[in-house]
Amino acid sequence: MNDTTGGERPRIVMTGAGKRYDALQVFCDIDLDVGEREVLAIIGPSGCGKTTLLRCIDGLLALSAGEIRIEGERMVAPREGVAMVFQHFGLFPWKTVFQNVAYGLKLAGCPKAEISARVPKYINLVGLAGFEGYYPYQISGGMQQRCGLARALSVEPRVLLMDEPFGAVDAQTREILQFELLRIWEMRPTTMVFVTHSIDEAVLMGDRVMVLQGRPSRVHEIIAVDLPRPRDRATLAMPRFAALRERVWGALMDDARRAEFEVKR
């Protein structure tokens, strides 16, 4: 269960990872490897700590037990080669699309000439050409997240961490962006950890789906998604997609029902 798909070298290694805030144990005993070209989808009921886990992987939060290594290096602070896309976009409202996309490169100490060459490339890639000079408040939520994606991609990360990236956009935009992301990933496959609370999204994106459950959260089940790539709209119509969807649904639901009726103390 701990093996990565395709037998490739793992890029992310989690060993006994646990996080506690004072009395609250958020998750514990997470052991998992993520391969070099693997997409791991993490799903679980809200409040299960999937976003917290993602922040621990990035090194934004410190673990309280175990360790997470990326390319052999222990994650205690954000490092080069890892980029994150945020649920609420995290764009700087006083910067234009161009400046927002350039932000990561600027911090990485990229020379000016290279920034002005690379930024338009990624703006084109996410379909924002022509909007370089716009401010975030002038464009739609979907476009803002395209910008957030371009900012993460522009530093050419080897690990892409996605924190419910399409959770704050409407349903139609969400679908469009999912297929956009699949298309972009196909062009340049990297390690991706994708946190979501949508079962469809988890199955569509992931090579494996990790279901977190319980209090504290543990790895309840890891479901291998053996759908062929490249994936597109036709994937959604496959009987295999429906079957996998049911499996994830089953793994999630007993607990979800229990959680819904749990009385808060």
Partner 1 sequence: MSPGARWSRHAPVVVSLLAGAALWELSAHFTTRAFWAPLSETLASLVASARSGVLMRQATSSLGLYLSGLTVAILVGAPFGVLLARVRALRIALENYIMMLYATPMVALIPFILSMMGFGFAPKVLVVFLFAVFPIVYNTVEGARSIRPELIEVARAFRSSEWRLWCDVMIPYTLPFAMTGIRQAIARGLVGMVAAEFFLSPSGLGQMIMMGSQNFDTPGLLAAILLIVVLGVCLMDLGRYLERRFAAWRAYEC
Binding site for partner 1 (CB under 8 A): 58, 60, 77-80, 83-84, 86, 88, 90, 92-95, 103-104, 107-108, 135-137, 155
Number of neighbours of residue 183 by Cβ within 10 angstroms: 14
Amino acid in position 122: Y
Angle between helices 141-154 and 97-107 (to 10 degrees): 30
Q: Which is nearer to partner 1, 78 or 250 (CB)?
A: 78
Q: Are 135 and 79 in contact (CB under 8 A)?
A: no
Q: Which is nearer to partner 1, 42 or 84 (CB)?
A: 84
Q: Which is nearer to partner 1, 169 or 252 (CB)?
A: 169
Q: Which is nearer to partner 1, 78 or 130 (CB)?
A: 78
Q: Which is nearer to partner 1, 160 or 211 (CB)?
A: 160
**β pairing state of 208-213 and 218-224:** antiparallel
Handedness of CA 36, 37, 43, 49 (dihedral sign): positive
Q: State in angstroms the smallest separation of the CB of 219 from partner 1.
A: 25
Q: State in angstroms the smallest separation of the CB of 227 from partner 1.
A: 30
Q: State in angstroms the smallest separation of the CB of 120 from partner 1.
A: 20
Q: Are 30 and 218 in contact (CB under 8 A)?
A: yes
CA distances from 109 to 104, 115, 222, 258 (A): 9, 10, 39, 50
Q: Which is nearer to partner 1, 89 or 241 (CB)?
A: 89
Q: State in angstroms the smallest separation of the CB of 146 from partner 1.
A: 16
- Residue 168 CB burial class (10 angstroms; 0-12, 13-18, ≥19): middle
Q: Which is nearer to partner 1, 60 or 256 (CB)?
A: 60
Number of neighbours of residue 225 by Cβ within 10 angstroms: 23
User: How many residues in total does the chain contain?
Assistant: 265
Angle at 106 between CA 101 and CA 109, to 5 degrees: 145
Ranges assigned E (strand) in the chain? 10-21, 24-35, 39-43, 65-70, 73-74, 82-85, 159-163, 191-195, 208-213, 218-224
